[in-house]
Amino acid sequence: MVKKLVSLMFVLCCNCITAQIHCGSVSIVPNSSVNQIVVFDDTTKYIGGITINSVTKLRVKVEDKTIVDPLCSWNLKMFIENNSGAGTPIDEWEEITNYGNGAGRNPTIDLLQVRVRNSCSTSPADNTFRNFNDANDILDIISDMLPITNAGSCTLNVNGPGSYLTNYDEFNFDIDIRLRPGARFNPGIYNLNIRFRLEENI
């Protein structure tokens, strides 16, 4: 009986240690939604593509608790959503409307390219256009499970507490998008949602 009780306490303690809140708050400022409309209406745009720099800025603010926990760190990821619950194939954009008969193929998710950059190049993928292959893909900006790199170092993978207010070049991320459809897809209007998620590491 005593042995079982000790085991239970051990499990509870493990949970407690693993799931402890290390940070006081994490926030993206502002976290309001952005809707960017991109119109392709001539051949040059179809072939050359359209790039929109700084379609949004992710301003990160991660604060320590009142009693500072040295394990406070964070990660930042990108998810893609195409309303697959409504029947959109996993690798395609959500169709809003088709122009014409739509006999060809709807645009695929990999058509959207996303680039993240900041002045300190804190993300390993800094200044590189990447794409999602399907709605299950997750792209890291700052990965989880990394050793803590404190703010102010202006180096790779800064993930300690800090704020865009005090360390702008490390805690601000400019998000660029590029679309280059070519002449492969059905004309129409399509939607895709990029979700940026900031989490404290546990």
Helix (H) or strand (E) holding 9: helix 2-18
115 vs 130: CA distance, rounded Å: 6
Q: Which residues, 162 to 201, sit near another protein by CB under 8 A? A: 175, 177, 179, 181-200
- Closest contact distance (angstroms) between CB of 162 and another protein is 15
Q: Identify the sign of the CA torsion 62, 65, 67, 70.
A: negative
Q: Which residues, 12 to 41, sit near another protein by CB under 8 A? A: 12, 15-16, 18-21, 23, 25-28, 30-41
Q: Which of 56, 108, 159, 172 binds another protein (CB under 8 A)?
A: 56
Three-state secondary-structure class, residue 81: strand
- Closest contact distance (angstroms) between CB of 127 and another protein is 18
Closer CB to another protein, 54 or 155, in the complex: 54
Three-state secondary-structure class, residue 4: helix
Answer whether 175's CB lies under 8 Å from 87's CB: no
- Closest contact distance (angstroms) between CB of 179 and another protein is 6
Helix (H) or strand (E) holding 25: strand 23-29
Cβ neighbours of residue 77 closer than 8 Å, sequence gap 6 or more: 138, 139, 140, 141, 144, 196, 197, 199
Q: If binding means CB under 8 A, how many residues of this protein chain bind another protein?
A: 64
Q: Which of 1, 42, 85, 147 binds another protein (CB under 8 A)?
A: 42
- Closest contact distance (angstroms) between CB of 121 and another protein is 21
Chain-centroid distance, C-alpha 58: 9
User: Which residues of the chain form contacts with another protein (CB under 8 A)?
Assistant: 12, 15-16, 18-21, 23, 25-28, 30-43, 46-47, 55-56, 58, 93, 96, 99-101, 103-104, 107, 112, 175, 177, 179, 181-200, 202
